[in-house]
Amino acid sequence: MVTPMNVVMLLFPRLTQLDLTGPFEVFTRFKELKVHLVWKTMDPVTDASGLKILPSATFADCPQADILFVPGGPGQMGVMEDAETLDFLRRQAAGAQWITSVCTGSLVLAAAGLMTGYRATCHWSSIDQLALFGVTPVAERVVVDRDRVSGAGVTSGIDFALTLAALLFGEERARQAQLFMEYDPAPPYSGGSPASAPAEMVATVREGLKPFLAERRAISERAAAALRR
């Protein structure tokens, strides 16, 4: 009997649930993987839109990760300066085979010092902030650099997880999971990324995000400075 690989998926308040649940849906389709949803306590964790998610383990009783995963979302900003969470990620990363993220989860890993010297991606609105941590930003849907695998914004979590599944179990099984999930995107509109959206639309969205992104950047700058100390 093969011992399952432990997938440790970090929870935190105000995460973006699809960053987490997209990969979760893929990972649970492989019997070789055992998924753990982990936070400081066993209390429900409320995502950025009000959805409550139950942890299955705490930092204290979490098993050693074979695959460490961090999602993103507005709550990522607080996590980047939370010593307890960053220490937990560092401890887990020391024994993990794969260190992974989706969306701004890569900024959390970067704040823990776990992405320095690697190529990675992030949500398009904040990808530039990776450079503050000595990370090479790559504007691609999924980026693989040695044992680091990162996905871009939100919906890319499914692409990320299928890519990692192929690395673990081969392309054929990843393709079977994709088929079973009927993952065959045909969005009602083009323009789901800055590369394909009209420039004026990108500018409008950026303008609306300006105060939020200014706050995120200030936190990233503080986290990067703390890492250098």
Contacts of 73 (CB under 8 A, 6+ apart): 12, 14, 15, 16, 17, 19, 47, 48, 103, 104
User: What per-residue confidence (pLDDT) applies to 125?
Assistant: 97
Q: Return the number of other C-beta atoms located less than 10 Å from residue 225's C-beta.
A: 10
Q: Percentage of the chain surpassing pLDDT 70?
A: 100
Per-residue pLDDT at 229 exceeds 90 = no
122 is catalytic: no
Compute φ and ψ for 8, nearest 5 degrees.
Answer: -100, 110
For the chain, how far is it from start to end, CA to CA, in angstroms?
46
User: Which runs of E-coded beta strand occur in 11-82?
Assistant: 33-39, 45-46, 52-53, 57-58, 67-70
Q: Percentage of the chain surpassing pLDDT 90?
A: 98
User: Which of left, alpha, beta for 130 (phi over 0: left; psi -120 to 50: alpha)?
Assistant: alpha
Among the listed residues 33, 89, 14, the one whose alpha carbon sits nearest the alpha carbon of residue 23:
33
In the block, residue with structure tokens 């935190």: 12
Helix or strand holding residue 93 (H, E): helix 83-95
CB 86 within 8 A of CB 40: no
Token duo for residue 50: 């009000």
Report how far Cα 43 is from the mean position of its chain's Cα atoms: 21
User: What per-residue confidence (pLDDT) applies to 77?
Assistant: 98
User: What per-residue confidence (pLDDT) applies to 184?
Assistant: 97
Label residue 114 by pLDDT band (50, 70, 90): very high
Label residue 1 by pLDDT band (50, 70, 90): low
Distance CA 31, CA 219 (A): 39
User: What per-residue confidence (pLDDT) applies to 200?
Assistant: 96
DSSP per-residue string spanning 62-85:
PPPPSEEEE--STTHHHHTT-HHH
User: What per-residue confidence (pLDDT) applies to 53?
Assistant: 98
3-state secondary structure 122-165: CCCCCHHHHHHHCCEECCCCEEEECCEEEECCCCHHHHHHHHHH
The pLDDT tens digits for 121-179 are 999 999 999 999 999 999 999 999 999 999 999 999 999 999 999 999 999 999 999 99
The pTM for the full model equals 0.97
State the average pLDDT for the chain. Answer: 97
| Interval 84-89 mean pLDDT | 98
User: What per-residue confidence (pLDDT) applies to 2?
Assistant: 75
HSE on the CB side for 119, CA within 13 Å?
9
User: What per-residue confidence (pLDDT) applies to 207?
Assistant: 97
Q: Return the number of other C-beta atoms located less than 10 Å from residue 110's C-beta.
A: 29
- Domains annotated for the chain, with CATH where assigned, are 5-228 (3.40.50.880)
Q: Which of 26, 103, 114, 161 is catalytic?
A: 103
Lay out the sheet containing 148-151: strands in order across: 57-58, 33-39, 5-10, 67-70, 98-102, 148-151, 142-145
